[in-house]
Amino acid sequence: MNQKVSVGVTVSISALVCALTFIITSFVSLQNFNNKVQDVKEKAEKYDRLEAMDTYVREHFYLDELDENSLMDGILKGYVSGLDDPYSRYMTAEEYSALMTKEAGQQVGIGVTVTFSEDSFLYITKVDENSPAEKAGLQEGDFITAVEGVPVPELGYEETVNQVRGEEGTAVVLTVRHEDAEKDIRITRHTYEVSTVSGQMLDNQIGYIRISAFRENSSSQFQDVLDSLVSAGAQGVIFDVRDNGGGVLTALQKMLDPLLPEGDIAIATYQGGKTETVLTSDADELNLPMVIL
């Protein structure tokens, strides 16, 4: 038996469905709007302190002008620092460019590592190989007593280091004391390749390899040193990575691969338990006793 539904009932049901749909949609939209408003309110409260500080500084700062870019960089550095994550930091474009140059195994400058001596001069603790400083004759143990004719004690440590640093192609005049003699040396800053791997043969045919960092060019330097020691008859190898500050992961993989048997070297574990193999080794390996310091 067929049942007939009146047009009025159909219209009423359709109107009810539309009304319910409108109510549900309005409720969801209102909820989303309220959430967004609350989010904006919370963010506004977070930035109230920053705005108050900014207003106070602009009204009372004793200098005439503020460097807006420097201010923004400082804010971003502080934000990342507030994460309390030792592996996270904000870098300016210039700092990032310098880091990429460093990670590539290159350095711009004269090529010395210094410390402050007891008599307030710069004491050279290291001269990089193939650097402008090495080519100019600077040696470990020398003292830098003046920069551009201004005595180091007068400049202070930080300002002296800043004076020694500089852009590629620029020159600096250093007064250098070697043993008991002083002389002025003009050095032009250049980009040079940093040696991060060195080696030598110790007693009893034991090879010694020192790795100070993992840079893009470290793997090729490592392979050259390792091949040289093995060819010279090394019966074992000591790898010294003490005070190694880390560096490029791909370089580390290339250095570990010829040492280890086939298999996984490193596995990353992510939030939620997901794992991923990030470093592997092939079947070729160094069949010698090895020690890591």
d(CA 220, CA 223): 5
d(CA 109, CA 161): 11
Residues 145 and 178 in one domain: yes
**Owning domain of residue 9:** 1-90
* More confidently predicted of 103 and 199: 199
Given 59, 90, 121, the domain boundary residue is: 90
Residues 170 and 208 in one domain: no
Residues 247 and 279 in one domain: yes
Is position 32 within any domain? yes
pLDDT for the residue numbered 148? 92
Residues 7 and 86 in one domain: yes
**CATH assignment of the domain containing 242:** 3.90.226.10
**Mean pLDDT value of segment 218-245:** 91
d(CA 140, CA 146): 17
The per-residue pLDDT for range 25-55, each reduced to its tens digit, is 555 555 555 555 556 566 667 778 778 888 8
Residues 182 and 202 in one domain: no
DSSP 3-state of 286: coil
**CATH assignment of the domain containing 162:** 2.30.42.10
- Least confident segment among 7-11, 124-128, 242-246, 282-286: 7-11
Domain count, the chain: 3
Share of the chain above pLDDT 70, in %: 83
Is position 227 within any domain? yes
Residues 288 and 228 in one domain: yes
Check: CB of residue 164 under 8 Å from CB of residue 101.
no
Is position 99 within any domain? no
Is position 180 within any domain? yes
Residues 36 and 109 in one domain: no
Is position 96 within any domain? no
pLDDT for the residue numbered 12? 55
Residues 184 and 225 in one domain: no
d(CA 144, CA 164): 10
Is position 98 within any domain? no
d(CA 98, CA 168): 12
Residues 52 and 115 in one domain: no
Residues 201 and 189 in one domain: no
Going by pLDDT thresholds of 50, 70 and 90, the confidence category of residue 100 is confident
Residues 14 and 74 in one domain: yes
> What tokens does 70 get?
């420097």
Given 64, 90, 116, the domain boundary residue is: 90
- Least confident segment among 99-103, 190-194, 239-243: 99-103
Residue 160 has φ and ψ, to the nearest 5°, of: -65, -45
Is position 70 within any domain? yes
**Length, in residues, of the chain:** 293
Residues 188 and 205 in one domain: no
DSSP 3-state of 109: strand
The per-residue pLDDT for range 126-182, each reduced to its tens digit, is 888 888 999 999 999 999 999 999 999 988 888 888 888 888 899 999 999 988 889
Is position 95 within any domain? no
Given 193, 216, 239, the domain boundary residue is: 193
pLDDT for the residue numbered 251? 86
What residues contact residue 203 under an 8 Å CB cut-off, 6+ apart?
none
Q: What is the 3-state secondary structure (H, E, C) of 117-164?
A: CCCCCEEEEEECCCCHHHHCCCCCCCEEEEECCEEHHHHCHHHHHHHH
DSSP 3-state of 170: coil
